[in-house]
Amino acid sequence: MRQRLTLRPLRQLRHLRASAGLLAAAAFCACAPAAWGQTSPYYVGVAQTFTYESNLLRLRENQIAPTGFSANDTISSTALVAGVDQTFGRQRLSGSASLRANRYVDNKNFDSSGYSLNLGLDWETIENLSGRVSVGADRNQRADLRDRVGRFITDANAEDAQRFSATGRIGLAGPLSIEGGVNYYDLSYQAAAAAYAEYRQTGGSLGLRYRLGGATSVALSLRTSSTDYPNLLINLPDPRDKRKRNDVDLNFVWVPTGASRFDLTISQGRTRYEQLNDRNFSGATGALTWNYNPGGKLRGNLRLARDTGQSSDLNTTAFSQATDALRVSADYDLTGKILASASLQVYRRQLDGAGQFVTGLRGSDRGAIASLGLRWVPLRSLTVGCQASYETRGDNSVPQLQDAYSAKTASCYGQFTLQ
């Protein structure tokens, strides 16, 4: 652990330099004479966001904020943004980057800086080879994260995430092709009290896809992932635990019309932990996604999924055996320059507290996240908008695993770019 704490600032500095480098490159290209035209693939600009949080610390029911802290707060975030979307030959390079300064009105301890970097390359050869490579890194302030026994973390607690993925496809004779991919994800925290939530995950998949006609296809593949939790456990000689997951995936893509696309994946697999094998899971998981885009003003998306992995937007962790989730979202063009959006996500988590907070208890809870947004683009270089959301989590079926709370968020933003 000591070595990791020593190396982390150097790693974060490299990511900051990488973000700054991309911003500088995009700014240089945007300032070039040719970049001022209507077809410039580069942009650079500034953004300002004001956000109100009714429950910044995600206080649980009947909890009050610790001394010196406020439950609600208003945050100002000022950002320098840049991006690129360039096609050259059969290849396409796309990416975005931002550097942010966040200031809190009441909770000054959380004043911080952050960044976001995303870069992707879609590639294709003259023959039957194609794929995509993407990298990304983010730093965000996590005022809501608790320590391993549910206490507040009063110091600034930056969450650092780095990710990499690569996929490839080799076309064989006729409609048959081979597909494969690898991925990597690393999550770490600034505060030592949050080290228990850190993890590193690697994975890969390999399979065959058969094109039935048009965009409709079926695929069979093998998928594996390994997750390392270096500081997960307490009261054990070795705090590390590892999770291994293997799946057989059957995927079916159906495009009945130009307006609809269905993507169904059914998986049979198992999850095994090295130490806390009470959390082992075997069974079926999967996801069904429906994208609806008739070419008019309305666009929609529906996703129904059952998964055993981790998802930051649902606050699932190593203690989540399985999560069932349904998400519905829609965009509607009110005018040529005004877009309205709405989304609703409901979920149910199955939790296992064995060996960590309590002993041998399993329970379940439910939650929901709803949001409404409005975006206006009065000029090609100017975007403004507002969004409101409500998040709630209900009582757990086991009181010792209780984690119920609710929070309201409202934000407005403006972004000016040169392209």
* Cα end-to-end distance, the chain, whole Å: 45
Show the domains of the chain with their CATH numbers.
2-418 (2.40.160)
Residue pointed to by tokens 């200031």: 103
Residues 229-247: pLDDT tens digits? 998 887 778 889 899 999 9
Beta-sheet strands, E only, within 16-157: 42-53, 73-88, 91-104, 112-124, 129-141
Amino acid (1-letter code) at residue 148: R
CA 31 to chain centre: 32
Mean pLDDT value across residues 143-162: 85
pLDDT band at residue 353, thresholds of 50, 70 and 90? Answer: low
C-beta of residue 371 within 8 angstroms of C-beta of residue 343: yes
DSSP E strands in 19-63: the ranges are 42-53
For residue 359, what pLDDT is reported? Answer: 58
Helix, strand or coil, per DSSP, at residue 381: coil
The yes-or-no verdict on residue 24 having pLDDT over 50 is: no
Q: Which residues, at least 6 apart from 200, have a Cβ–Cβ distance to it below 8 Å? A: 184, 185, 186, 187, 227, 228, 230
What is the longest distance spanned by two Cα atoms in the chain?
69
Strands (E), 195-337: 199-213, 216-229, 241-254, 260-273, 281-292, 298-307, 320-333
Q: Does 250 have pLDDT greater than 80? A: yes
Structure tokens belonging to residue 214: 């048009």
Residue 143 reports pLDDT greater than 80: yes
339: closest CA among 384, 292, 379?
384
Q: 12 or 301: which carries more pLDDT confidence?
A: 301
Least confident interval from 62-66, 174-178, 222-226, 301-305: 62-66
Cα gap 342→389, rounded to integer Å: 10
84-108: average pLDDT: 95
How big is the chain by its Cα radius of gyration, in Å?
23
Q: What's the CA gap between 310 and 245, in Å, rounded? A: 12
If you average pLDDT over residues 4-28, what whole number do you get? Answer: 41
- The answer to which of 82-96, 353-367, 373-387 has the lowest mean pLDDT is 353-367
Q: Is the dihedral of CA 234, 309, 326, 267 positive or negative?
A: negative
Q: How far apart are CA 134 and CA 119, in angstroms?
A: 6
Share of the chain above pLDDT 90, in %: 59
What's the whole-number mean pLDDT along residues 244-260? 93
Q: What is d(CA 166, CA 120) in angstroms, rounded to the nearest whole number?
A: 10
Cα-based distances in Å from 151 to 143, 145, 146, 194: 12, 9, 5, 10
Residue 309 Cα distances to 83, 244, 315, angstroms: 31, 11, 11
Residue 306 amino acid letter: R
**229: closest CA among 355, 314, 399, 323?**
355
Coil vs helix vs strand at 2: helix
Residue 373 has pLDDT above 70, yes or no: yes
The C-alpha atoms of residue 268 and residue 245 are separated, in whole angstroms, by 11
> What's the burial of 308, exposed, middle or buried (CB within 10 Å: 0-12/13-18/19+)?
buried
- In this predicted structure, the answer to whether residue 9 has a pLDDT above a threshold of 50 is no
Percentage of the chain exceeding pLDDT 70? 86
pLDDT at 358: 53
